[in-house]
Structure 1
């Protein structure tokens, strides 16, 4: 991926005239909408927002085309005039986020392509758009029971499901492949790419969920995009307050689950919380028609309670850090706008840990206190310039911060101990912190976007640059700073350090010391150019090209992984085949690249220590701490050498730890769709979707460099590379124990040394290439709100197949993005093709609202989906003596040498599917005005029928080679119990 400098230079020069005088690089990420159409040639068209006084006039070209780009979302008056006389009547038009309202004006207003909803005009079919997106306003969400966060809104869109680790899966992708924008500022977590900065629900104004086919202005995602804008001030002074209350008394009790002997393995009956949020806001003009403000402060009080899965520890938490946010809008004049956004989502949680007797339901003495901090201060400054009737610019610069801090009182005195022979992977030592982490992530984002109308061509081009810095210090708790994990095993098993389990040993202890500190930076930059060509009045072609570059740096500030000249072409069309603006046939094909998370820099390119020592397990001993009894392993003889192949505590020469010619992760997508209005309120659509993920960047343990030294190959250790492709790695080429040159290793055939049962080297083997395909059909039906009722329905049939879920892997519950267990050795994914964890063959989503009268209304939602596939993972394989995850299960001779064991292949999904889940929500809303005050009371119930069906299970059929996991298919995740929410708002 090196060279191609001429391509980048040429693209830069094509934009050079326009960009040379601009200091801020980049693009504004659809923080607004646009308005376009046709009118008499030479006529003037004026758009006016009565709420802010914003007015702009453009002249139609010789063909009668007019266009208003970069319009802040809202309701506008649209009027055409010619020779000073009005042409037709003024039209009130709604401009929505990320969409273009297309209104044709003439001697009489042409409303054939729009819907008249109340007194407003909306355009449900954007005949110039080729993307797949769902728009939802705050007003719509207030009518139905929807969780009060951006991700809950995203789950309303077809093809989006709840994934593991608190994320969402778009179109079969893993949860770490999405992007989230607030007012054009990218607020996506770049450390692991799971999660994002958040603001209160009341601070939002409108959402757009992009599920595919999005423009080249969006990149760094192979999943989906959540695009949101916040409230803004107007010429009318407003203030108000909103209370959101979720009491534990209105929550159903979680179900407890027991093993075959009647012992609890997942206690949930004490899991509950009390949540109270009270926000106050004010907005209005500082200078009428010029300068506006919106400000909000939210008081928060969140008090969760829960137990661990075994019911032996009780957790009581408290989080009461408030939120503040503000938005300033300055209409300098009708040609220049400036807006400023700032908010703080910092949060701090303190959790006390207590001894707990589940059988007696009694809480004992306090054993520990944990502290966690997250969020941070975010801000963005955005400029919009309408330089001529046909040429406009938008620029943004901002910062996004997120803390990552986790500590506890016991961290100094207690080592972490985990017994992986038990369900739920319980911590059995006197500390529950797996790792002490003190970090902060800061993004500096600069973006620039141009739009230039040249006849029938709408040219859009820009730059996009982010500098993402992670300051990090992390280590395991305790005086030894080692994490002790107990694993089941069998004699003769080869461990990951090459050691052989001695005879008579059925369990071992891995003592791991993992530490890293420093500042780590990644620079992501992109150029893009796009032509939207109106070939005929009814046919639009879209052709775009995005040129990306990723530069991940090590702890010393030098480049660690650099991938540049990534060309992402995207082509699309939209055909208004009837010519009335009410229907369209559309399609697109495109390529999307995914950056490398900063966690890779931190974990593998810093002064990283990852030392693993293996011991014979000689049982557990009990000890007292703070009046409580805990357990820790008794260490026997050491097995094999100390393994620090993944980090020896120095930055070192990283050429031996990364493929020098690494290829990016990217996805190709093809969509063909149809959308049409049935009448003034009803519309429907259908989409066919095909996605294919190419490549993976993950860690692989190369135990062979292909060069025989003393009859055996030299071992390289773990590298970051592309499984199944050629890796160029710096290694020892002359068997003197010193790395001195590069070798090319085709990891589809080599890189893993094979040994016979006597320990003799017998050759190499390689890795299977990662694969993921997603096929789907989506059907949508929508009835717009007409002050009486609204309805939306979608059905998605989909199939997600392959052997790689993506950068995040939920097969084994391992959330290290980009460092999954899928490719640690060649056998994890061997013959592992089949339905992937985010495969939901059927999804049905319904939502609707009905106004009973002027004061009372009801709303309901349904999310029904088929269950995820179940695997049957074994340990070990028929090809060598290692004991890692695989799709092979030992069925006989399991304690013999590996070449005498008998294995059975259990393909992906061989355990069947989990049951369907149904989640019904219901709400009732009361509204009334009292003079200048507007009261709204909403009572919503989520999971109305209190279904608590299993959504995730333990997929490991074996806990050791030939050792059946007694908790196989036991639930590890369930639907949340029913809960209720009361919202009371008062606006003046």
Structure 2
């Protein structure tokens, strides 16, 4: 607490930061008709909706720069004594954009004022990053599955559909995130109004915001500046709406009756009944002035109710499906609230305050596919976030901003604790779920400080930005429970037929204690410190260098943290403090008018390590570890097995006291030399303006890492109770170490085309041809072949699980006659990569487990399902009294009911009769909904 007070005092004292990518910049050059540069020209930009004004002057080279301008509709005025005054109107500034507006002034004997309708350039001539801006028109008019704004990022090149890896993020149909380049959806950096919106336990975005509260959406996929960190994936910048001088609002309702939904191919193939998928959404928005031209408010309330069921299908085994299959209650409800205050009390200060609230409730979380209803439990999630910031204009060339955000997240998933035994086969997962019950609390303080200033000299025009960031995250539970659950048993058969025949399980484990992990009362404190400096150096009128340096230090996983018994095995890892990340980029504007720009660069980026890495260490602190009990072979009957009526616990002898080495299922450790994974990224490409307001972007991107984090088995580690190593005891396979091992390589050709609104249409399209290879088969997983296997390095290296070679996406909006509007989303992904396992193929690497991939297939050689999707929205508008508007829309998701299956629960065992089949839907089977909106 003393640290927080100290940092808060420091922030108040300095009180200056920049808007951290949540704003736009306006730059340009002034000249007369002869081409002579004009210094001293007064440049003024004014927001036509709020009256906000910013002013600066041109330098000796006629250059000007106005930074940190809130996105919106603007006009720009250029004034100089003896010259005409020009006002450019109709300027739309978007999030993260740098608008280059060069102006020519004519000599005028008397004062003349000329108003010209202008547009911001399609291409940024001074930036080297690869970014995509999704304008508000698309946010409001494109069909958006689950109203999840994160899915808008799929319109950018270099992105891919990310399946659900955390039940708290699951919306509709196992599509809850997006991956970038070589990374997974865990490793992105999502910011709302400049505040951190990332889940520090499992990764990915944290809090959900209603679609109607989103004003601008920017995706930076590659080569982002030094102000951005904690990610080797991409950056998602979102700003919420603000009020204006006019009072605007509305009410809306969306409905999806069950008759508007189709059966999935998975259910249809199994002869099952269609699951129920009903949805009702009610909401309202209101925004306007508190004091005209000074202070404004905006609010959005959104409520969702989904009475629905989820199918459980035991494919290939009708006798098991008769017992455990069916459609089970999976009802979901959500409450969302957003409130925002903005004000400009003086020309030197722009204030923002924002509050966000979310509450979710769901029945039978973690159920579906081969996971029966016994595996699930009721889930509840509650989020709060409060953000405050002040942008300060010290003078035309110097500004800053102070930002503070406080957020909390409580996740609870309960469970029927009378179920003590879990049964697992390739086609069936029933009984005890050792991941439940669980509760995770996250309490986060986020502080930022930057300062930005413009100067001339040292070789050109400089736009500097320097700052630091501090995050303090208290995490309680680490997916743990707040009560002692006693022993829980997990039995696994590699072959479902062996289970049906009543044969001895292939292995068994016993978990003791507090749910999945202990829940210490004080929790675990995770802190993050960052410093960065960025210089956008305009060497000539055509050449700009983007130079940056960043330093990150994460403390709480490595370095200072509470002691685990597992630290006694290898020793406690040291802090990793040498994470310096230089960034170098260039943009060359060939003609000087932003119509054809060549760009490229190189940079180093450090991954933020998700905190559930510590989850694997916790069980060793509970009753000495995860021991395997002795199982006496029983003579049970097949009918009792199938009906789940066997009391497995009576056949398991629970070890008393510290477990013997033979009893321990696994022991987890963190390598003492572990470090934060680092990726290097290089890119080269161009942007070209084409006729009809179209811009084409083409880039080659290369990423590499030589220290990814992964689990591997290690034999030369002493067991605390014996002093002998695992290898000496012949138990090499029982020790798993989290450390840096292997390599990742990603290269891609990324192509994007975008059309600004005109000729009654707007469009954003992207295509990515990529190769993504490495050692990571699944997140936080062990190697497929361990170090005892003679060719382990080549055998483990291959296409990353879930990666696709070809990805194409397009979003488009068309204005039709009679006030109709058509929104369209098209998506395609080629078959994803996965590794083929052969549980009956033997122990290929000598680690004691017959679960390696087949000898004929190294990692990632399997190919799963492709992804095809078409979503449409048709809107009809009715306007009256010049102020009121009623919109009716009808939208369909997965129009052609494509059979899209998720990689997350893919049957990858060669011997299974259902091999190379998915058991849950990716996206949704075809469904439609209708909506009515009243706006004023």
When normalised by structure 1's length, the TM-score is 0.79
Q: Which residue number in structure 2 is paired with residue 977 of structure 1?
A: 925
Matching of residues 617-696 of structure 1 within 5 Å? 618=633, 630-633=645-648, 636=651, 657-679=669-691, 681-696=693-708
**What is the distance in 2 between the residues matched to 1:590 and 1:485?**
47
Matching of residue 753 in structure 1 with residue 751 in structure 2: no
**Which moves more between the two structures, 233-242 or 781-790?**
781-790
1:470 alignment counterpart: 475
Q: Is the counterpart of residue 29 in structure 1 residue 20 in structure 2?
A: yes
Q: Give CA deviations for 1:303-327 in whole Å, capped at 9, x if unaligned.
A: 2212323353542244444211101
Match of 1:176, SS? helix
How big is each residue's C-alpha offset from its partner over 1:498-533, in whole Å with a ceiling of 9 and x where there is no partner? xxxxxx956342222243112011111100001111
Post-superposition shift, 1:585? 0.1
SS at match of 2:141: coil
Rate the CA distance shift 1:335–1:86 in 2: closer, same or farther, 3 A.
Answer: farther
Moved more, 469-478 or 639-648: 639-648
Partner of 1:140: helix, strand, or coil? helix
Q: Report what 1:459 is aligned to.
A: 464
Deviation sequence 1:802-847 (CA, Å, 0-9, x none): 2225xxx1xxxxxxx5465668876587612222223211122223
Question: Any residues of structure 2 matched to 1:868-947 within 5 Å, and which?
Answer: 868-875=832-839, 876-880=842-846, 882-883=848-849, 885-887=851-853, 889=854, 904-911=855-862, 913-931=863-881, 932-947=883-898
Instruction: State the 1:879 CA deviation.
Output: 4.7
User: Gaps (5+ residues) in structure 1?
Assistant: 1-15, 110-117, 491-503, 649-653, 706-713, 717-731, 739-750, 810-816, 890-903
- 1:83 and 1:488 map into 2 onto residues whose CA distance is 85
1:613 aligns with 2:628: yes
Contact residue 17 and residue 400 of structure 2 kept, 8 A: no
Q: C-alpha distance in 2, partners of 1:638/1:274?
A: 47
SS of the counterpart of 1:202? helix
Q: Following the alignment from structure 2 to structure 1, what is the Cα–Cα distance between the partners of residues 504 and 906?
A: 25
Q: Give the Å deviation of 1:354.
A: 12
Aligned to 2:311: 307
Other-structure match for 1:987: 935
For residue 966 of structure 1, report the CA deviation from its aligned partner. 3.8
Q: Is the 8 A contact 1:695 1:770 kept in 2?
A: yes
1:895 maps to which residue?
none
| Equivalent pair of 2:872/2:895 in contact (CA under 8 Å) | yes
- Paired residue secondary structure (2:757): coil
CA distance in 1, matches of 2:387, 2:708: 33
Deviation at 1:621, TM superposition (A): 5.7
Partner of residue 509, structure 1? 508
1:58-457 to structure 2, matched below 5 A, reads 58-83=56-81, 86-107=84-105, 121-147=119-145, 148-164=147-163, 165=165, 166-256=176-266, 264=270, 269-310=273-314, 312=324, 314-351=327-364, 370-408=377-415, 410-411=416-417, 413-415=418-420, 417-423=421-427, 425-427=428-430, 429=431, 434-455=435-456, 456-457=461-462
Could you tell me how far apart the structure 2 residues matched to 1:639 and 1:489 are?
26
Alpha-carbon separation, structure 2, partners of 1:971 and 1:561 = 42
Q: In the alignment, is the contact (CA less than 8 A) between 1:615 and 1:637 conserved in 2?
A: yes
CA distance in 2, matches of 1:353, 1:526: 36
Check conservation: 1:449, 1:461, Cα contact below 8 A.
yes
Q: Equivalents in 2 of 1:323, 1:671: separation in Å? A: 39
Mapped contact 1:189–1:196 kept (Cα < 8 A)? yes
Cα–Cα, structure 1 residues 907 and 945, in superposed 2: closer, same or farther, change >3 Å?
same
Show the 5 A alignment for 1:576-615.
576-604=589-617, 608-609=621-622, 610-615=625-630
Alpha-carbon offset, residue 560 of structure 1: 6.4
- Equivalence map 1:525-536=2 (5 Å): 525-536=529-540
Question: What is the SS of the residue equivalent to 1:517?
Answer: coil
- Pairing 1:785-796 to 2, within 5 Å after superposition: 785-786=757-758, 788-796=760-768
Q: 1:461 to 1:857 in 2, by over 3 A?
A: same
Q: How many Å separate the matches in 2 of 1:646 and 1:231?
A: 60
Partner of 1:549: 553
User: TM-score if structure 2 supplies the norm length?
Assistant: 0.83
Do the aligned partners of 2:425 and 2:495 also contact (CA within 8 Å) in 1?
no
Name the CA shift for 1:421/1:660 in 2 (closer, same or farther; >3 Å).
closer
The question of whether the paired residues in 1 share the 8 Å contact of 2:267 and 2:311 is answered with no
Matches within 5 A, 1:809-828: 809=778, 818=780, 820=782
Q: Quick one: structure 1 residues 350 and 834, their matched pair in 2 at CA, closer, same or farther if it must change by over 3 Å?
A: closer
Size of the aligned set, in residue pairs, is: 852
* 2:588 equivalent among 575, 597, 615: 575
Counterparts of 1:646 and 1:587, CA distance in 2: 56
1:508–1:614 CA contact under 8 A, matched in 2: no
Change (3 A) 1:355 1:403: closer
Residue 643 of structure 1 deviates from its aligned partner by 5.1
Residue aligned with 1:601, SS: helix
1:853 maps to: 817
**SS in structure 2 at match of 1:831:** helix
**Structure 1 pair 877–622 and aligned structure 2 pair: CA distance change class (3 A):** closer
Inter-partner Cα distance in structure 2 for 1:967 and 1:62: 73
Deviation sequence 1:527-552 (CA, Å, 0-9, x none): 00011110101000111000110101
Alpha-carbon offset, residue 299 of structure 1: 2.5
Checking the alignment, whether the CA contact within 8 Å between 1:768 and 1:829 is kept in structure 2 is no
Counterpart-to-counterpart distance in 2, 1:819 and 1:25: 43
Q: Is the 8 A contact 1:618 1:636 kept in 2?
A: yes
Quote the Cα distance in structure 1 between the aligned partners of 2:97 and 2:288: 26
SS at match of 1:29: coil
Deviation (angstroms), 1:850: 2.1
- CA drift of 1:979 comes to 1.0
Give runs of aligned pairs for residues 660-739 of structure 1, distance below 5 A: 660-679=672-691, 681-705=693-717, 714-715=718-719, 737=723
Relative to structure 1, is the Cα distance of residues 943 and 284 closer, same or farther in structure 2, using a 3 angstrom cutoff? Answer: same
Q: 1:966 to 1:390 in 2, by over 3 A?
A: same
Segments of 5+ residues of structure 2 without an aligned counterpart are 1-6, 31-37, 108-115, 166-175, 315-320, 497-502
Query: 2: distance between equivalents of 1:600 and 1:663?
Result: 13
Q: 2:696 & 2:366 partners in 1: Cα distance?
A: 53
* C-alpha contact (below 8 Å) 2:802/2:903 kept by paired residues: no
C-alpha distance in structure 1 between counterparts of 2:738 and 2:151, whole Å: 42
Rounded Cα–Cα distance in structure 1 between residues aligned with 2:128 and 2:555 = 31
Q: Distance in 2 between matches of 1:150 and 1:566?
A: 32
In structure 1, what is the Cα distance between the partners aligned to 2:259 and 2:483?
A: 37
In 2: Cα distance, 1:848 partner to 1:624 partner: 56
The answer to whether the 8 Å contact 1:130/1:586 transfers is yes
Distance in 2 (alpha carbons) for counterparts of 1:174 and 1:398: 26
Aligned pairs for 1:473-492 (under 5 A) are 474-475=480-481, 480-488=486-494
Larger helix share, 1 or 2: 2
* SS of equivalent to 2:741: coil
Residue 77 of structure 1 aligns to a residue in which SS?
strand
1:614: how far off? Answer: 3.5
1:47 deviation in Å? 0.8
